[in-house]
Structure 1
């Protein structure tokens, strides 16, 4: 007589999040979208500065327009501006040390 081993594949159920955890996750998403919208408004305020004022903070008009056009509506464009300002600062420090 032959016996055959049979295994039953049981998928482990993923534990569901508690109501509080789900609410905190939703609140985090809403706050992230709110921050992105608010930062877009701040970039609009920055566009009112003249070119020398923008240069003082390490930005250009092209940086402002690129930050708004490269990010989607739900993305925060301020990280693009931060990276642009840091890059420009490094380049100017490098060029001033060579001269």
Structure 2
């Protein structure tokens, strides 16, 4: 028998997710949205800090404003602040090791 005569029947259809799985996915989505809203409120509280206090935690006023304006309503803006603080601390951390 030649290879061109053979066909491979793949059953790729996936079964529909169970009700429990769908409920868990929906709950995870709601929790993610709730977390993003809560973090957005916390970032608004960061706007009340003065520049010296923001500098103590590795942020600037521009970082806080950029986090609020660049993220959509359902996105979590805290990841932007985390990345900004990490970028700011990396050069200073390495400069302290120089003799």
- TM > 0.5: yes
What is the rounded CA distance, in whole Å, between the counterparts of 1:24 and 1:87 in structure 2?
A: 35
Aligned to 2:65: 65
Deviation string 1:29-75 (CA, Å, 9 cap, x unpaired) is: 00000000000000000110000000000000000011111111111
Which blocks of at least 5 consecutive residues in structure 1 are unaligned? Answer: none
Shift of 1:12: 4.2
- The aligned counterpart of 1:18 is 18
Query: What is the alpha-carbon distance in structure 1 between the residues aligned to residue 45 and residue 23 of structure 2?
Result: 33
Query: In structure 2, do the counterparts of structure 1 residues 95 and 15 end up closer, same or farther at CA, with 3 Å as the change threshold?
Result: same
| Higher deviation after alignment, 10-19 or 86-95 | 10-19
Give the C-alpha shift of residue 81 in structure 1: 0.4
Structure 2: gaps of 5 or more residues: none
Supply the distance in 2 between the matched residues of 1:50 and 1:98 (Cα, whole angstroms): 31
Whose Rg is larger?
A: 1
Residue-pair matches, total: 93
| Aligned match of 1:42 | 42
1:51 corresponds to 2:48: no
| Closer, same or farther: CA 88–10 of 1 in aligned 2, 3 Å | closer
**TM-score after normalising by structure 2:** 0.82
